[in-house]
């Protein structure tokens, strides 16, 4: 009973802030451009600064990240492959649409949901393993998806490769990670007024991210392609974290906090980047938007289950 109450105290405030954002958008209290502004602030300012502060001030553990990365991305690869196969053979969709579904089944919503929830569940000890995954997740999944989409179109031209490289090089989340890692390596620790400014912005990242996700849920639909959206949500919320949990429990020994973060990272709902890719190429948009919304709604229950199974609060 104590563990259930502990998990409820983690999950309910997180989704409570999201619910406030949703109600503000649904009621018309805040206009759509406000939702875009809050999301822009989270992505371009608050989260990069949070990542920079965490890495600059962290005591990095003497743990090789390869096994940690391996278990997470193996689960993601299985979920991705299953989504693409089901899209083609069960739903009769084309190659590009199947790629969108694969990405949506494998890419976790880390910035808006994962960072706030993992830090609430594990505390400061979870920051380093969390951001070790944040650093490699976006480059790997988005580069893979972008290259696959280009390969099924006109082919991998030099312009297409340069576009992918440019998007990664200018991503502020990755820049924040790189700056924090450099600060850690050379021993720079912000202090005085600069540290106060950094701390204030970093502290705003969690509530603003959750509020932005609530606003976004109102904007994205649910019923456009419900059967496919439900398939994607099941793969993202159940299959991906199940594979990671089995690996960290029985196959690849990891420090406890790394194992918990890997499972929780995998258990996050589908990320909005999949929807953005669908919009960019004009395929699979209804299913991608529906999966983002549906998986986020259902994750209130499924994340609670994975927290319990991972022994958080036990």
**Residue 2 banded pLDDT, cuts 50, 70, 90:** low
Q: Report which secondary-structure segment, H or E, holds 218.
A: helix 192-219
pLDDT computed for residue 153 by the predictor: 62
Closest residue by Cα to residue 69 from 174, 123, 139:
139
**CA dihedral sign, ordered 221, 167, 44, 61:** positive
Neighbours of 116 (CB within 10 A): 22
**Could you give the 3-state DSSP secondary structure of residue 108?**
strand
Cα angle value 107/109/111 (rounded, 5°): 125
> Mean pLDDT over residues 63-80, rounded?
92
Read out DSSP for 245-261?
HHIIIIIS---HHHHHH
pLDDT computed for residue 261 by the predictor: 93
Domain range summary for the chain, segments of one domain joined by +: 2-308
- Whole-number Å distance between alpha carbons of 104 and 102: 5
pLDDT computed for residue 21 by the predictor: 86
Rounded to the nearest 5°, which phi and psi values hold at 270?
-60, 140
Q: Are 81 and 89 in contact (CB under 8 A)?
A: no
Q: What is the tens place of the pLDDT at every residue in 182-218?
A: 888 888 888 889 899 999 998 888 788 778 877 877 7
User: What is the 3 state secondary structure string of 143-208?
Assistant: HHHHHHHHHCCCCCCHHHHHHHHHHHHCCHHHHHHHHHHHHHHHCCCCCHHHHHHHHHHHHHHHHH
pLDDT computed for residue 222 by the predictor: 60
Closest residue by Cα to residue 292 from 216, 241, 227, 240:
216
Choices 1.10.3470, 1.20.1530, 1.25.40, 1.10.540: CATH for 2-308: 1.20.1530
**Could you give the 3-state DSSP secondary structure of residue 43?**
helix
On average, the pLDDT of the chain sits at 84
Across-strand partners of 108? 270
- Establish how many alpha carbons lie within 13 A of residue 65's alpha carbon, considering only the half-sphere containing its beta carbon: 16
pLDDT computed for residue 167 by the predictor: 73
pLDDT computed for residue 76 by the predictor: 96
Q: What is the tens place of the pLDDT at every residue in 209-253?
A: 778 877 877 776 666 688 999 999 999 999 999 999 999 999 998
Rounded to the nearest 5°, which phi and psi values hold at 64?
-70, 130
Closest residue by Cα to residue 215 from 19, 49, 13:
19
Q: What is the pTM of this model?
A: 0.80
Q: What is the tens place of the pLDDT at every residue in 122-144?
A: 888 888 888 888 878 877 887 78
Q: Are 24 and 215 in contact (CB under 8 A)?
A: yes
Q: What is the tens place of the pLDDT at every residue in 260-288?
A: 999 999 999 998 778 777 877 788 888 88
């Amino acid at each position: 009973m104590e563990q259930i109450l502990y998990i409820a105290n983690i999950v309910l405030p997180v989704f409570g802030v999201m619910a406030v954002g949703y109600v503000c958008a649904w009621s018309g209290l805040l206009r759509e451009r406000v939702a875009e502004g809050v999301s822009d602030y989270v992505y371009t300012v608050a989260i990069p600064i949070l990542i920079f502060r965490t890495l600059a001030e962290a005591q990095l553990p003497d743990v090789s990240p390869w096994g940690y990365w391996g278990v997470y991305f193996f689960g993601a690869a299985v979920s991705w492959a299953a989504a693409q196969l089901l899209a083609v053979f069960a739903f009769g969709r084309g190659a590009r649409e199947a790629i969108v579904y694969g990405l949506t089944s494998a890419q976790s919503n880390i910035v808006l949901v994962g960072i706030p929830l993992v830090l609430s569940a594990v505390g400061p000890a979870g920051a380093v393993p969390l951001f070790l995954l944040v650093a490699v997740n976006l480059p790997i999944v988005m580069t893979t998806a972008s290259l696959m989409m280009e390969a099924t179109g006109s082919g991998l031209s030099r312009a297409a490769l340069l576009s992918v490289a440019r998007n990664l090089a200018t991503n502020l989340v990755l820049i924040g990670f790189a700056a924090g890692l450099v600060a850690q390596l050379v021993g720079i620790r912000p202090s005085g007024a600069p540290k106060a400014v950094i701390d204030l912005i970093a502290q705003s990242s969690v509530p603003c991210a959750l509020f932005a996700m609530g606003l976004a849920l109102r904007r994205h639909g649910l019923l456009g392609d419900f059967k496919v959206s439900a398939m994607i949500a099941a793969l993202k919320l159940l299959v991906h974290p199940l594979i990671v949990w089995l690996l960290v429990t029985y196959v690849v020994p990891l420090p406890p906090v790394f194992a918990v973060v890997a499972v929780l990272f995998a258990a996050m709902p589908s990320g909005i980047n999949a929807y953005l890719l669908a919009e960019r190429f004009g395929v699979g948009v209804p299913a991608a938007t529906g999966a983002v919304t549906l998986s986020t709604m259902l994750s209130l229950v499924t994340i609670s289950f994975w927290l319990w199974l991972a022994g958080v609060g036990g």
